Amino acid sequence: MILRCLFALWCFLLVDGATANECEVSLVVLGAGQDAGAPQIGNPADPGWQDPELRLTATALALVDHENDKRYLFEATPHLTAQLQRLDSMAPSAAPGLGIDGIFITHAHIGHYAGLMFLGREAAGAREVPVWVMPRLANYLRRNGPWSQLVALENIQITELAQGTTKTLAGGITVTPQLVPHRDEFSETVAFVVRTNGQSFLFVPDIDSWDTWEEDYDTALEDVIASVDYAFLDATFFDDNELPGRDMSKIPHPRVAATMQRLQHLPDAARSRVHFIHYNHSNPIRDPASAATQHVLDRGFSIAREGDQLCLAVQN
């Protein structure tokens, strides 16, 4: 169930079409683009220059625990400033400061971690914002500027995660990292499985291949989808015709068309859990009015859009 609740601390939803209940834990899509968003640098013909509706910020999710007044981010993107402003307008925090109770980061590519820079002394000068990352990424942040300065000045406080080991947050929300195959120059790359006392989601914005995940990491996409209520999946490219003049066989990422093909045999309920995210500026699904978007929806899948809000747990 998707709610688009603007300017509201509490979101409401109908249960069995009759009773309104307060949402206890909600998920907000803060961005759905690839790392560099859209329009990208050096693309004067991008329609987003003319139409702000077609602009994309980099992929990020926020998890809002209304019950305990906690807000967690998944990724710190280069668009963090605008994304936090959106979150403040949708689900403001009563806490002093930024109201960020923790940031989970999948890997060290610019769209996923570079927004940490806004926590430093040139911007927010934040105090001890918890940052949860895998060991290689932790090491990278501690040993390389400008990130090391965030650690030294205690703008951020790093806690290391471990593969497959569940981290439990206030209110019993759990976050479990799962390694995925990706271009790991500076860090490992993970997906996150998040469970509340209501619903759960998988977040895998960047992966080289579903087959490699299955063969080398013993994780079948279909099994993970079966174990969660929502699955935010890497949709960087739509198909192999997308980058004229480039040999796309050399470029990883499962194509949206291929992912749909792989999952087409699943029942309607399972396919509807899939929300494609992290789309490149060249991917036609970035335009809600495109034929590609309609094709994805017709096949029973969903596309994550900035501002989407899901209620994961309802107050009893």
Q: How far is the CB of 210 from Zn ion (least distance, A)?
A: 16
CB-nearest residue to Zn ion: 109
Q: What is the DSSP string of 26-92?
A: EEEEEE-B-TT-BSPTT-TT-GGGT-GGG-BPBPEEEEEETTTTEEEEE---TTHHHHHHHHHHHS-
Identify the residue among 55, 66, 71, 109 touching Zn ion (CB under 5 A).
109
- Using CB under 5 A as the binding rule, whether residue 206 contacts Zn ion is answered as yes
Select 24 or 306, whichever has its Cβ closest to Zn ion: 306
Select 109 or 286, whichever has its Cβ closest to Zn ion: 109
Instruction: Write the single-letter amino acid at 53.
Output: E
- Using CB under 5 A as the binding rule, whether residue 111 contacts Zn ion is answered as yes
Q: Which stretch binds Zn ion (CB under 5 A): 45-53, 167-175, 200-208, 307-315?
A: 200-208
- Using CB under 5 A as the binding rule, whether residue 234 contacts Zn ion is answered as no
Select 35 or 188, whichever has its Cβ closest to Zn ion: 35
237 φ/ψ sector (left φ>0, alpha ψ -120 to 50, else beta): beta
Binding residues for Zn ion, total number by CB under 5 A = 4
- Binding mask 4-43 vs Zn ion (x if CB under 5 A, - otherwise)? -------------------------------x--------
Q: Which of 283, 279, 282 is nearest to 306 (CA)?
A: 279
Select 37 or 300, whichever has its Cβ closest to Zn ion: 37
Q: Which stretch binds Zn ion (CB under 5 A): 48-56, 102-110, 212-220, 307-315?
A: 102-110
Select 182 or 271, whichever has its Cβ closest to Zn ion: 182
Instruction: Write the single-letter amino acid at 71.
Output: R
Q: How far is the CB of 204 from Zn ion (least distance, A)?
A: 11
Cα–chain center distance at 189: 13
Select 206 or 308, whichever has its Cβ closest to Zn ion: 206
Select 83 or 199, whichever has its Cβ closest to Zn ion: 83
Residues numbered 122 to 151 that lie near Zn ion (CB under 5 A) are none
Q: How far is the CB of 177 from Zn ion (least distance, A)?
A: 15
Q: What is the 3-state secondary structure (H, E, C) of 2-18?
A: EECCCCCCCCEEEECCC
The answer to whether 285 and 278 are in contact (CB under 8 A) is no
Q: What is the 3-state secondary structure (H, E, C) of 205-216?
A: CCCCCHHHHHHH
What are the Cα distances from residue 298, in Å, to 89, 172, 302?
Answer: 32, 36, 9
- Rg for the chain, CA atoms, rounded: 19
- Using CB under 5 A as the binding rule, whether residue 308 contacts Zn ion is answered as no
Q: What is the DSSP string of 226-254?
A: HT-SEEEEE-S-SSTTSSTTS-GGGS-S-
Counting Cα atoms < 13 Å in the Cβ hemisphere of 175 gives 25
- Binding mask 52-91 vs Zn ion (x if CB under 5 A, - otherwise)? ----------------------------------------
Q: How far is the CB of 75 from Zn ion (least distance, A)?
A: 9
Q: Which residues bind Zn ion (CB under 5 A)?
A: 35, 109, 111, 206
